[in-house]
Structure 1
């Protein structure tokens, strides 16, 4: 049991630490990060119930539709909702890069519980694959969401458009990720690896842009 908890949480701690320490100016308050992380964890249970109900009743009737609606849209919408109503107007959210930190915290909270449940059900031998694919993908979806929410808060124009992108870019990417996993293709790994590389490239670029924006903000304030 202890080994599963360690393997399930180790990649979460590694990714969160990297995102947190990558900020070039003042670090964010840990209590708010922890709070958003916990909210992400709590989200798992109602969403699992909704997903179970839909799948049991066969409402959507297609693995592709389930990937898009039950995984991509449902999960990312509730993460976005929590971010907007808990973090967006908080005083600690005072730089563009902060959006990335809180977006990743919410997503990794969700990924932590999901990962623990999966490893308890299927075995510790899946830990490395889970770390490389589902856990890191959740973090990257949260990173992209937080990037656009940060842009919405600290950019004078196109605020609504940025909030739209903050929701639907992660929804689209998450849907593609789940469609690949649920496709049943024997060679799915050869599609997933390039997709994950692309996600990481996008994520790293967003980190650099957000850090540049906060430097500009400090100089101009």
Structure 2
């Protein structure tokens, strides 16, 4: 059991540490980041209940609905809700890159607990595959969500546009990820280029988030 817990937790904490340490200015309080991580983990229970109801009531009639509604929209909306309504106005959210840290935290909290339950059910031999695909993809969905949340909070104009994109883009990417898994027989051949693109996009948002934070602090110095 200790091995499963370690294998289930390690990828999420490693990825969260990576994005956390990329914050080059004012690092976020560990307590606030960890609290956001826990909020994300707790989302597993209501989301799993809703998905169970949708499945037992035969409300999922196609692969597209399964991928983009039951999974992507449901999971990303709840993560976005936590990020927007508990972190967006928080005093510690004081630079654009912070959105990436908190977005990764809430997503990886969800992915970590989900990963632990999966490994308990199906075995430790799935740990590497889970770390490379579901855990890392959730992290990158969170990074992209957090980037646009941060951009929206600190933009002088078009705030609502960036906030909407912070929910819309992760849903599209998450739905595409699940749709590949559900519909492609040899999904590995499609998933590899998709994950390569997702990592490229996520790391690009990390770079741009750091640039936005640098500009934010330069503007503060000008005043």
What range is the shorter-chain TM-score in?
over 0.9
Q: Secondary structure at the match of 1:179?
A: helix
Which residue number in structure 1 is paired with residue 125 of structure 2?
A: 125
Can you list the C-alpha shifts for 1:73-110, whole angstroms capped at 9, x where unaligned?
00000111111110000010000000000000000000
Deviation at 1:63, TM superposition (A): 2.4
Which residue number in structure 2 is paired with residue 150 of structure 1?
A: 150
Say which is worse superposed, 208-217 or 90-99, in terms of deviation.
Answer: 208-217
Cα RMSD (Å): 0.8
Unaligned runs of 5+ in 1: none
CA distance in 2 between counterparts of 1:67 and 1:186 reads: 15
Q: Does 1:34 find its partner at 2:34? A: yes
Can you list the C-alpha shifts for 1:179-207, whole angstroms capped at 9, x where unaligned?
11111x33100100110010000011111
CA distance in 1 between counterparts of 2:215 and 2:158 reads: 19
Moved >6 Å (runs of 4+): none
Which residue number in structure 2 is paired with residue 109 of structure 1?
A: 109
CA distance in 1 between counterparts of 2:105 and 2:208 reads: 19
Which residue number in structure 1 is paired with residue 212 of structure 2?
A: 213
Deviation at 1:21, TM superposition (A): 0.4
- What is the 5 A alignment of 1:1-221? 1-183=1-183, 185-221=184-220
Deviation at 1:220, TM superposition (A): 1.6
Unaligned runs of 5+ in 2: none
Q: Secondary structure at the match of 1:93?
A: coil
CA distance in 2 between counterparts of 1:24 and 1:177 reads: 31
